[in-house]
C-alpha cells in the first residue's frame, strides 16, 4: 500500500475532541450554575465526538458489507453497523434527556468530517483482499482511539449517568477492537499500489 494510502487510512481514525467548549441550554427551571454548565459542556464534547464517529463508522461498515470478500470481514461489518446504531441511539437519548445539543459545527469538527469523507472515498477505491485488509486495519485504528476517548472521559466523569453510559460503551468497543485485530492477522497485507515499469530497476 502506498504511503499516501496509509496516510488517508490513519486520518480516518477517531480524532480526540479538542474543540472549544460548546453552548449548553439551561433547563426550564433556571440557571443550573457554572459548575453544572461546565460538566454539561464537557459531556457534550465527548458525546459530539462519539456521535460524529458513529456516523462515519456506520457508513464505512455498510460499505464493507457490500464490498468485503472474506466472510469474517463481512461478519465484522454487520456487527459494527448493528452495534454502532445502538450506541448512537444511546448517545442521542442521553443527550436529549439532558437537553444537550449534538451539533457538528466547529472548524475542527468540519475538518474531521472532511477527512473522514476522504478516507471513505479512498477505501471505496480498494477491491478484494486489499479492501478487506484496509477496512480491518482502519477499524483497529478507529477503535483504539475510540476506547481511549471513552476511558479518559469515564475516569473524569462526575455524573453517575454519564459514567454509566460510557461504562456500557467500553466493552462493545473492546470487542470490536479484538475482532478487528484478529482479522488483521488473517486478511494478509494489501498489494503494492504502483507497479514497476519494465524500464525501472530495483533500488
- With vertex at residue 190, the alpha carbon angle to CA 65 and CA 147, rounded to the nearest 5 degrees, is 60
pLDDT of 42 reads 85
pTM above 0.85, yes or no: no
Indicate the length of the chain as a whole number.
Answer: 203
Q: How far apart are CA 181 and CA 183, in angstroms?
A: 5
pLDDT of 8 reads 38
DSSP string, 22-84: PP-PPPTTS---HHHHHHHHHHHHHHHHHHHHHHHHHHHHHHHHHH--SHHHHHHHHHHHHHH
Residue 140 near residue 187 (C-beta atoms within 8 A): no
pLDDT of 175 reads 97
As a whole number of angstroms, the longest Cα–Cα distance in the chain is: 77
> Which domains are assigned to the chain?
3-13+34-184 (1.20.1260.10)
Here the cell at position 160 is 453517575
95 SS3 class: helix
Q: From first to last of the 203 residues of the chain, give the pLDDT tens digit.
A: 444 444 434 444 333 333 333 333 334 444 444 444 556 788 988 999 999 989 999 999 999 999 999 999 999 999 999 999 999 999 999 999 989 888 767 788 888 888 888 999 999 999 999 999 999 999 999 999 999 999 999 999 888 899 999 999 999 999 999 999 999 998 855 433 333 334 444 44
pLDDT of 4 reads 41
Q: Within a 10 A sphere around the Cβ of 136, how many other Cβ atoms? A: 25
Q: How far apart are CA 5 and CA 79, in angstroms?
A: 26
Backbone angles phi, psi at 171, to 5 degrees: -60, -35
**Residue 189 DSSP code:** P
Amino acid at each position: 500500500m502506498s504511503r499516501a494510502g496509509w496516510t488517508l487510512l490513519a486520518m480516518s481514525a477517531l480524532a480526540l475532541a479538542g474543540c472549544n467548549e460548546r453552548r449548553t441550554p439551561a433547563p426550564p427551571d433556571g440557571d443550573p450554575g457554572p459548575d453544572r454548565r461546565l460538566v454539561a459542556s464537557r459531556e457534550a464534547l465527548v458525546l459530539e465526538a462519539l456521535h460524529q464517529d458513529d456516523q462515519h463508522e456506520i457508513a464505512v461498515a455498510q460499505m464493507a458489507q457490500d464490498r468485503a470478500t472474506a466472510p469474517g470481514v463481512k461478519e465484522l461489518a454487520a456487527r459494527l453497523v448493528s452495534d454502532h446504531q445502538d450506541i448512537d441511539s444511546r448517545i442521542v437519548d442521553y443527550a436529549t434527556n439532558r437537553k444537550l445539543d449534538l451539533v457538528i459545527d466547529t472548524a475542527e469538527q468540519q475538518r474531521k468530517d472532511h477527512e473522514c469523507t476522504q478516507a471513505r472515498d479512498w477505501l471505496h477505491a480498494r477491491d478484494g483482499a486489499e479492501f478487506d485488509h484496509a477496512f480491518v486495519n482502519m477499524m483497529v485504528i478507529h477503535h483504539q482511539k475510540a476506547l481511549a476517548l471513552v476511558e479518559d472521559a469515564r475516569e473524569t466523569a462526575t455524573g453517575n449517568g454519564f459514567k454509566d453510559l460510557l461504562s456500557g460503551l467500553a466493552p462493545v468497543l473492546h470487542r470490536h477492537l479484538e475482532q478487528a485485530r484478529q482479522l488483521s492477522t488473517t486478511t494478509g497485507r494489501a498489494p503494492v499500489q504502483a507497479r514497476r515499469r519494465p524500464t525501472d530497476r530495483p533500488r
